[in-house]
Structure 1
Amino acid sequence: MSTTYHHERTEDAASGSADPRGPEGPTTSGAAGRARGKDGPPRSRRRNLPPLTPKLIIGLVLAGGTILFGVLGPFLVQNPSTIDNIGMTAPGEGHLLGTTQTGQDVFAQLAHATRGSLLVGLIVGVLTLLLSAFFGVVGAYVGGWLDESFSWFTNVMLVIPGLPLVIIISSYMPEKNILLVAVVLALTSWAGAARVLRGYTLSVRSRDYVLAARVAGEHRWRILTVEILPNLVPLLATQTIMGVIFAILGEAGLSFLGLGATDSFTWGTMLYYAQNGLALRLDAWWWFVPPGLMIAVFGAAMVMINFSIDEIINPKLRTQTRQTRKHWKLERPDATGPVTKEDPR
């Protein structure tokens, strides 16, 4: 019996097959191992998900709170144009953020101004996305004379200074509303995003899966919408966020110069009215600090979200962020002092 067992082990060793049990007992492999193991595809799928970094969480919370305030706030406050005889009243019980020189409630103006500025950012972001995608993606994918024409037009719009053009267009409009200001800002801000999208589309359209789809006889527009556009979604999101930031800052700058939407409340018009009302000279900080703070907070939130999207797009940034977090964990002090790596010797 023992001789037979020894003979079988010798033949297995000679044929190069290994004992599946190994030194630590039996192991699982194949479908059973993937089903029961904890280190299988579920972990790899979790690693492929977007990293939930602290700056992404902070950015989403700040941006979400600002959007919620802009959507619901105007329904909970009084008419921001109501004039009262208690001008320049400091923040108190009757007025959460005080009043203006003519007795208007600053908190009510801030709620309506938040909605107006966010509306400008939304319109400009959508128009910038559509224009940049059309002139950048479609032209680069079709190629030929269409790509050359779109590229020439994009370069012309790119070299035209945006702010002076916006000032000239706005100065010739007698009545300016939010929609007009947003369209003017969108027409002067899409060229840079279109240039970036064109370069990336030229790189994507020469990849193997796109060439395979062409060889398979798929329709040109189906290849563009199914094979190319999904790879451009993170970049399109980044360009849209930058367009929103540019729109809010551009509108605030135009309104501060008196060229913004005169029939609506925005963060920029609040700063303009505060300047004309000598709020800084009269130490009425509650009139100009809230809109300026809202611009800074929302801009910082969008920038943090943009940085998080960059980490999702670029695997090198994602790996660097993960290594930085591990480094912080290793050097985090505890009750016994900082954690240090053990000496391998």
Structure 2
Amino acid sequence: MTDQLSIQSANRRSMAAPGKRKRLRNFLAFFHGNMSAKIGFGVMAIVMVACLMAPWVAPYDPQERVARPHVEPSAEHIFGTTRQGRDIFSQILYGGQASLAVAFTAGAISTVISILVGISAGYFGGRIDQWLNFVMNVVLVFPQLPLLIVLAAFLGQVGPIVIAILIGVTSWPWGARVLRSQTMALRQKEFVLSAECMGESRIRIILVEILPNLISIVAGSFVGVVMYALINEAGLEFLGLGDPTSVTWGTMLYWAQSSAALYTGGWWEMIVPALTIALVGGALALINISIDQVSNPKLKTGAHIKRWRRLNRDIQAKRLRGVS
């Protein structure tokens, strides 16, 4: 009996291995000839690893006064110090943990809501589509940034977790509308109609037949919300609506503005976190562009465009031979 179980487990592992290798090849093929993906993912990987390694890489505690106020960048303090004498390099690393956590949490919340609402509205139709579409339109009516400012001001000085929830529950309608329209198009495809004729449950059709065909749209929506959340989290905290005792890239900008860093000559206190946010936002934008280039044939570049040009030439040659 034991030998039979071991043989069955070995067979399962051998069957799963080709699938893992295929997924790995597909992931690596995403970067082939896609310079935007290489740069974007490379920058994000460096930033995320550096922030995760902050307890071992950062030379000082981010809240500790370690030098005189506004010490210029030097070998001891790479990015200088703040008006309170805190090391900016250490704050960048520790602050990145909170800021990126807020951005990715908001992106996950928004993506889950947009998937549930968008696919449900597009697949079920009827009254469900009418009510969900009405909710989407109502949320879209309110401008998101002023709405976030009002909510944050109403709740008081909110922490990073509350900011992530606020951004996540207010930024889902755009992604939901796109998923709704794409689901309505897939709803009439042959493979979906065949699954319905075979008696497959609606939940299985949504999860197995429809959702895998929307992965590129879901990924693009997620990256877009992450970029939006990163910028808006910094904006809310810069306005003083966040928790000033927490160390994030937004609170760094808030304290730099409060201490008039640009006017007193301590430009590095304001410029360093601002450039960091711009760098990460640019990397996320490149990732989003790379996803569009792979999922949309009209935007394919690099090695992909050569393949598509060759395919178009073959199609044109077949048409000419058919006419002749």
For normalisation by structure 1, the TM-score amounts to 0.77
The alignment status of 1:308 with 2:290, answered yes or no, reads yes
Aligned to 1:201: 183
The alignment status of 1:66 with 2:47, answered yes or no, reads yes
State the number of aligned residues: 283
Alpha carbons of structure 1 residues 230 and 291: separation in structure 2 relative to 1, 3 Å: same
Alpha carbons of structure 1 residues 65 and 320: separation in structure 2 relative to 1, 3 Å: closer
Query: SS of 2:155's equivalent?
Result: coil
The alignment status of 1:212 with 2:202, answered yes or no, reads no
Aligned to 1:233: 215
Alpha carbons of structure 1 residues 181 and 217: separation in structure 2 relative to 1, 3 Å: same
Alpha carbons of structure 1 residues 93 and 231: separation in structure 2 relative to 1, 3 Å: same
Does the 8 A contact of 1:70 with 1:111 survive in 2? Answer: yes
Kindly, what percent of the aligned residue pairs are identical? 36
Q: CA deviation at 1:58?
A: 0.7
CA distance in 2, matches of 1:192, 1:210: 25
The alignment status of 1:263 with 2:234, answered yes or no, reads no
Alpha carbons of structure 1 residues 51 and 143: separation in structure 2 relative to 1, 3 Å: same
Query: SS of 1:94's equivalent?
Result: coil
CA distance in 2, matches of 1:110, 1:276: 18
Which is richer in helix?
2
Q: CA deviation at 1:138?
A: 1.7
- For the pair shown, which has the larger CA radius of gyration, 1 or 2? 1
Q: CA deviation at 1:142?
A: 1.7
CA distance in 2, matches of 1:148, 1:121: 31
CA distance in 1, matches of 2:185, 2:301: 23
The alignment status of 1:149 with 2:131, answered yes or no, reads yes
Q: CA deviation at 1:263?
A: 3.4
Residues 267-308 of structure 1 deviation map (CA, whole Å, 9 limit, x = unaligned): 111111111111101221221111111111111111111111
Aligned to 1:81: 63
The alignment status of 1:254 with 2:236, answered yes or no, reads yes
For normalisation by structure 2, the TM-score amounts to 0.82
Aligned to 1:163: 145
Q: CA deviation at 1:206?
A: 0.8
Unpaired runs of at least 5, structure 2: 1-24, 310-324
Does the 8 A contact of 2:223 with 2:288 survive in 1? Answer: yes
Aligned to 1:50: 30
Does the 8 A contact of 1:241 with 1:302 survive in 2? Answer: yes
Residues 17-64 of structure 1 deviation map (CA, whole Å, 9 limit, x = unaligned): xxxxxxxxxxxxxxxxxxxxxxxxxxxx99x94352112111111111
Residues 222-247 of structure 1 deviation map (CA, whole Å, 9 limit, x = unaligned): 11100000001110000000000000
Does the 8 A contact of 2:156 with 2:241 survive in 1? Answer: no
Higher relative contact order (CA 8 A, sep 6+): 2
Residues 88-123 of structure 1 deviation map (CA, whole Å, 9 limit, x = unaligned): 111123222111112111111111111111011111
Unpaired runs of at least 5, structure 1: 1-44, 328-345
Query: SS of 1:260's equivalent?
Result: coil
